[in-house]
Amino acid sequence: MEEVIIPVALFFTAIGLPVLVHFGKYYLRHVERRLEISAGSGGHEARAQLEELQRENKALRVRVENLETIVTSVDLELNVRLNKVLSEVSQANLRGLPGGAADASTHVLRPGQLLGARYEIRGEIGRGGMGAVYRAWDPRLSEEVAIKVILPVYWDSDAARKRFVLEAGAARRVAHPNVLRVYDINVDGDLIYISMEYFAGQRLSDVMADRGPLPLPEILAVGTAMLDGLAAAHDAGVIHRDLKPQNILVGTSGQLKIIDFGLAAPPRGSGLTATGVVLGTPEYMSPEQLRGQRPDIGTDIYAAGVILYELATGKRPFSGEGPIAIALAHSRELPAPPSQHRPLPRDLEQVILRALEKEPENRHRSANAMCQALRAALG
């Protein structure tokens, strides 16, 4: 019962608190108008009133901004719980499938099965909250490919499906050695599946878990490869939105591939959010993304800064007990300098801290600029 009550309570909180924020912003505009009137009236008494109003306005603005942060954090908590429920339901469907032929409604594909009268399934690579990934043979390309099948629970309408196909299709424009290539997006009945380049690699998150902080030459190699891939995607007009070590693959020869460009976060309007926030991973989300603003280049640069911090120190810049605590830390706290955890070149520390600036305009102006700064720091 508690698992039901908490999400319901969060849902009503996520509806009610935005009303308070809206009222607070309305009152702020009223106070600012009073300031304008007082500024034009002149006289010692008017100036004193003006100074008092300015103090009131500043204090009120801080309270409204704090409340807005809490609202978006509660929304994030709600979305994390909803996404967890959907993931558990999908995993239960996958586990509960009886033997025999594949059941398309649960997206379990068997070795030897043909998908879309083209792809011969050879085996499962892995599963996630949005579906499963398979290794398959593509006779048209005469090579192995990866097939990502998206669970239908994420597409509650034809409009949501069309939005995903359109957005995922943009990822096909990205062609770079450090980005996993998307070949095609297909719809077959209630199935949406994506064919991609097959790359046998280990997730960067697993590399970090096994080895901890990396040597400086490896930080340079991983960081520049990641940023080169980001720059190519941004040049093509594609934002990742959920960049994290779990979405970066490292091959046995050191080759790096960013995966899930434009595919990592469900599209808006899919029924997964209470107030329009696109769900990401709290540990790597930028302050503006946590406020529900649309992700842009600065969002990916911030996430790259978090990853570099973790590569250099073995720790994330912000942590907490649960999504709300982590979101508040990203929004309001300054990260500890990486050199507090490990002796590092000052220039490297500055590259990382600039990427973690709260305001996007204070970060590196592009992934390419950040990459050049990293090379200058460690090259």
Catalytic sites, residue numbers: 242
- The closest alpha carbon to 174, from 71, 67, 262, 99, belongs to 262
Task: Tell me the HSE value of 49 on the side-chain side, using a 13 A CA sphere.
Answer: 15
Tokens of 226: 């990641």
Written in H, E and C, the secondary structure of the chain is CHHHHHHHHHHHHHHHHHHHHHHHHHHHHHHHHHHHHHHCCCCHHHHHHHHHHHHHHHHHHHHHHHHHHHHHHHHHHHHHHHHHHHHHHHHHHHHCCCCCCCCCCCCCCCCCCEECCCEEEEEEEEEECCEEEEEEEECCCCEEEEEEEECHHHCCCHHHHHHHHHHHHHHHHCCCCCECCEEEEEEECCEEEEEEECCCCEEHHHHHHHHCCCCHHHHHHHHHHHHHHHHHHHHCCCCCCCCCHHHEEECCCCCEEECCCCCCCCCCCCCCCCCCCCCCCHHHCCHHHHCCCCCCHHHHHHHHHHHHHHHHHCCCCCCCCCHHHHHHHHHHCCCCCHHHCCCCCHHHHHHHHHHCCCCHHHCCCCHHHHHHHHHHHHC
Cα(150)–Cα(90) distance, integer angstroms? 10
- The closest alpha carbon to 119, from 134, 105, 108, belongs to 134
Distances from the Cα of 338 to the Cα of 244, 315, 343, 357, angstroms: 18, 9, 8, 14
